[in-house]
Structure 1
């Protein structure tokens, strides 16, 4: 089961190469057709059969695209996994300015980043201030990173916990001008002043998220093992694909019946709670109940 999940997760990395291969194949076919038919182009234009076929194709392709879109919407309404995949793609596309996707609604990126920064600032500067730890998953890690890139004031020091983060795997590769290595290094340096305060959890079975800077060794809870605080120095912390049985009571064996982490299994893992507690110690001195940031239990997607 874990092997299949890991194999499926690696397909994300093979996607760009596959798309590039298909594009190269299509371009090659066009070149061959141009070489073969260009000398006799005047004959092609006089061919009633060919011109009629082109007209039929030109008429039915838009109809097929619309019909395919309708079928996709209907299937997504009945299939949770398909609906989730469509939602992820929609989130990625509509995050960017409308110039990059003119046929969709206005971008939510600018408004969301501004609202998040304003909300955190209001919590910190309230007459009864709240200490903030920013926790983000999946597309939320992109929003969190974009927000913290704007937090340049001396009093904007927010610890960050990310998991299922597509920052390197998808965004740095496809949008290097905004989320490339230099941007991530700058964000890391900013979150290291006055002390490191960023932890990124990732797993090999996650098809979307991954490490950001360095894959590093896997974190395993054991009596003589390292504490999760070590992730503050490296940012990235790989967790086991399946959780351990009961490390709090000395049972450090991997649970053979445990759920595979995947992309959405971080909420239920002990490493998630441990990471929250580590980051909370940066902003508060006393013990804080981490249940205040428990995972959502009602997901509509």
Structure 2
């Protein structure tokens, strides 16, 4: 079944060429991809497999044998897994940021280091927030300083127990949370063979470093609380050793190329394992020291030293993000600029979103838990660092919404003028009965062109996030938002409390929306098609920065595609690769893996492709024009790319080739790859038709006449190459 041969009863086409279709992020069923009611899986498994029509439906009228590769379940899997991965979203975004580095070698190495340190900081903040609930809220407040509402005032029968015992027992909650992260980040099995990415072995080293840092931060939280009432020699030694572990973890990530170089991988692997073992041993010693220390503890509303640790964790985020933004902007200022979607700036933008979201989620966890347990009554509310985090998220998220609305309105006239120029050229003679239809098409083109403004929107939002995170400086002065507002504006603290409550509710709404999105991604095709691209884009890249991010499905999909193409060329005269949307990206990478003997019998047809419009701009160091030209050279320029002005995602790759544009350079084969499709084909219904031709937009359209014409042309090129 996996040998690449045709299923029983299949009749090969007259040209014996396979048309292999790869879908985009919509995750369509194989029946829909192939346009057939009955299909049979001929290779792969339930998550990703190759399918062919049954019986006499196996070939197209053009004589090509149909086959489809369905990979839609690889990025997510089960509904339960998708819902659990929602909580890894900040980790996923921090991991994507490292792949958005600029093309410069020096700046790229610096961006990689800063992204990895930011990713480590996200793990630290995760542990700090869980510790805030377990140690500060439950162990210290609910069971001691200010009893919470029942039944939380008697958690696990620890009420009345010695403080050290309460802290040591409830410290198991953050440890379990780290184990939960490690479980979620466990890679799913994939086929044997050479993986796509050379960075996947780094995950083990990163995982050891992050786990060690998590244990060290938990220990420091406990030890700082213990030393607030007077330290001992043992606590001083443990404090120094745990601080050293944390510094070693950061140092292993801070040396450029240390984790990636083949010459140092064995040393780093051993160092990561050693620091992990040391951190585990220090945690055991810390728990015992805290539990067995029967000295009196200081009297305070909150866990001593906890606010300082949360302060420095959040301030570290801001410092790293500002450094990353400065480095990327410095590189961008020295190189070529792209006004539509600035190349290389994606690292700072996505990192800002990841950091802002992580800080908001951490703060809201503590905030909502305190409200639920009633542990912040009468002592000024949640810890001050989290009050600032909630406030900054609310302010820059609100500003981001207003910015999006303002940019939509301000860009409307420019987008409309550009769209009108396109539709006027496509439909020069419009009858009065078609005027309404023309306006509708122009509106669709104008909406599709909003993607060209996303770069400005994203960069501005990132700037707002940095400004919001700058409130971390105010945390150093132990100044609450209520105190600042009262001193500056004379407002009552209740106004700030209401804003904080609104901010906390906003974060909770975001979490609920993400969870519902995971459900609707499976139940609603429309939702999957429009929102799934964000998840598929994030899980496309391997874990080069954060080991607890979702695993890369491309590490399986691309080698699997390359192996299947190789099998098909051994049994057929040629293979026509047809990739829609994100499927075109998978096929482009698969082409780069094909051996020369296979590439000679392969042609490529892409449609609705984001290769240049999104990927080359977002990931300029990995999917740039040089790489795309290499793809064309590998298939000897048997490559056509179909695109529409109504498509908000896909576009041209090398040249727009619009009517009225300068003729393509005959010496450059890349200039003949792109072919623009007029969309719709006409404004009014043809004679005998009840409805006018639909606007296709990002729809694949494998049965459209233009698509079939491109298929026939490329099949003919394959036959000419084969001597047929």
Indicate whether the TM-score tops 0.5: yes
Q: Classify 1:34/1:265 alpha carbon distance in 2 versus 1 (closer, same or farther; 3 Å).
A: closer
The equivalent residue for 2:652 is 211
**Alpha-carbon spacing, 1:241–1:264, altered in 2? closer, same or farther (3 Å):** same
- Superposed, 1:2-151 pairs within 5 Å as 2-29=441-468, 31=470, 41-44=477-480, 63-74=508-519, 76=521, 79-99=524-544, 105-126=550-571, 129-151=572-594
What is the SS of the residue equivalent to 1:133? strand
Distance 1:11 1:266, change over 3 A: same
1:197–1:232 CA contact under 8 A, matched in 2? no
Q: Relative to 1, partners in 2 of residues 1:6 and 1:44: Cα closer, same or farther, differing over 3 Å? A: same
Q: Provide the residue aligned with 1:296 in structure 2.
A: none
Q: Determine helix, strand or coil for the equivalent of 2:606.
A: strand
TM-superposition CA deviations, 1:228-279 (whole Å, max 9, x none)? xxx986100001111259xxxxx9xxx9811112001532321100000001
Q: How far, CA to CA, are the matches of 1:5 and 1:78 in structure 2?
A: 27
**Counterpart residue number, 2:4:** none
Gaps of 5+ in 1: 220-230, 246-250, 286-301
1:269 matches 2:683: no
The Cα shift of 1:98 comes to 3.2
* Structure 1 residues 206 and 188: CA distance shift in structure 2, 3 A: same
Distance 2:639 2:613 in 1: 18
Please give the secondary structure, in 2, of the residue aligned with 1:162.
strand
Give me the whole-angstrom Cα distance separating, in 2, the residues matched to 1:120 and 1:147: 9
The 1-side partners of 2:610 and 2:448 are apart by 12
Match 1:191 to one of 622, 625, 635: 635
In 1: Cα distance, 2:516 partner to 2:527 partner: 12
| CA–CA distance in structure 1, aligned partners of residues 575 and 694 of structure 2 | 30
- Go from structure 1 to structure 2 and tell me whether the alpha carbon gap of 1:218 and 1:202 turns closer, same or farther (over 3 Å shift): farther
CA distance in 2: counterparts of 1:70 and 1:197, whole angstroms? 43
Equivalent position of 2:612 in the other structure: 168
What is the DSSP-based 3-state SS (H/G/I as helix, E as strand, rest coil) of the residue aligned with 1:243?
coil
CA contact (8 A) 1:93 1:101 kept: no
Contact 2:542 2:552 in 1 (8 A): yes
1: distance between equivalents of 2:521 and 2:598? Answer: 44
Contact (CA 8 Å) 1:218, 1:239: kept in 2 or not? no
Asked whether 1:200 is paired with 2:644, we answer: no
Give CA deviations for 1:119-143 in whole Å, capped at 9, x if unaligned.
11111113xx342111111110000
Contact 2:604-2:640 at 8 Å conserved across structures:
yes
Distance 2:638 2:562 in 1: 17
Offset, 1:111: 1.2
Please tell me whether Structure 1 or Structure 2 has the larger radius of gyration of its CA atoms: 2
How many Å apart are 1:77 and its aligned residue? 5.6
Query: Measured at CA, do residues 148 and 111 of structure 1 come closer, stay the same or move farther in structure 2, by a change above 3 Å?
Result: same
Instruction: Give the TM-score, by structure 2 length.
Output: 0.32
SS at match of 2:642: strand
* Contact kept in structure 2, 1:202 and 1:237, CA below 8 Å: yes
Does residue 234 of structure 1 match 2:678?
no
Task: Note if contact 1:124-1:131 (Cα within 8 Å) is conserved in structure 2.
Answer: yes
CA contact under 8 A between 1:160 and 1:197: conserved in structure 2? yes
> 1:284 Cα shift?
2.6
Quote the offset at 1:190 in angstroms.
2.5
Q: Kindly provide the CA deviation profile for residues 205-237 of structure 1, in whole angstroms up to 9, marking residues without a partner as x.
A: 011110000001359xxxxxxxxxxx9861000
CA RMSD in angstroms, aligned pairs only: 3.6
Q: CA deviation at 1:79?
A: 4.6
Gap change, CA 1:69 and 1:152, over 3 Å in 2: same
Preserved contact between residue 218 and residue 237 of structure 1 (Cα < 8 Å): no
